[in-house]
Structures are given as C-alpha cells and as structure tokens.
Amino acid sequence: MSPFSDVWQEIVARPHGPLALRFYLQPIVAIVLATRDGIRDAREGQPAYLWSVLTNGASRRDFLQDGWRSIGKVFMLALTLDVLYQAVVLGGLKPIQGLLVAAVLSIVPYSILRGPVGRLAGHMRGPRATTRQRAA
C-alpha cells in the first residue's frame, strides 16, 4: 500500500474507533457557533462571512480573527482529542493528520455555514443596509 492510502485508512477508521462521539459532537458545536455568529452578522448588517474572507482583502484579518475567537476552542479540543486518539490507537503522533481532522470537524462546518445562516437571518429580518452601505 502507498503511504497516502495508509493515511486515508487511518483517517476513515477514526469515526468507528475510540472517541468516535467527537465526530458528531464537534461539528454540531461548530454549527451552533456558526448559527449564533451568522445571526449576529445579520443583526449587525455584516456581509456573508466566508465570501468576505475570500474576497475582502482589506478586512480579511478582522474576519478571520472574529471567526477564530468563536471556533478556536472547538478546533483546539478537536486537535487535542485527535492527538489522544493517535497516541492510544495508532501508537504515535501524526501532526498533519491531527490538524486535518481538527479542521474538518470544526473550521470547515463553521466557515461554510456562518455566511448562509447570516444571509437567511438577514432575509427573515427584512431589507437593511449593510454596515459598509451605512458608512458610505
């Protein structure tokens, strides 16, 4: 087998081994935080989160810091639990795998859902000027 297929098999086996509950709880926590922050974005008239991170170079750092304040603890918990899993089940540490798993369980769902939740909440609130439109 190739090293890539070994890595892939180790990652795919994680939801079925010890600490498998984290594969469900951590994305749920990330979704709850994305929902909370998306609703806050709508209330404050902020643009969609991920789109702004990708396209607004001037404010990218502010958007990323705001997102990290919300999701950072969940990411660190995901990383810690994966390192624990690696030590117990795999008998060694694989830091790249740990970072990948932690990002998939926390950062990805948060980043994908925060913007759409904010847009949906904004549509439910009715038309309002965004913060940037009001400042102009």
The DSSP annotation for 69-112 comes to HHHHHHHHHHHHHHHHHIIIIISS--HHHHHHHHIIIIIHHHHH
Question: Each residue of 86-135: pLDDT tens digit?
Answer: 888 888 888 888 899 899 989 999 999 999 999 999 888 776 555 555 45
| CA terminus-to-terminus distance, the chain | 59
The span from the CA of 32 to the CA of 36, in Å, is 6
Which pTM value belongs to this model? 0.76
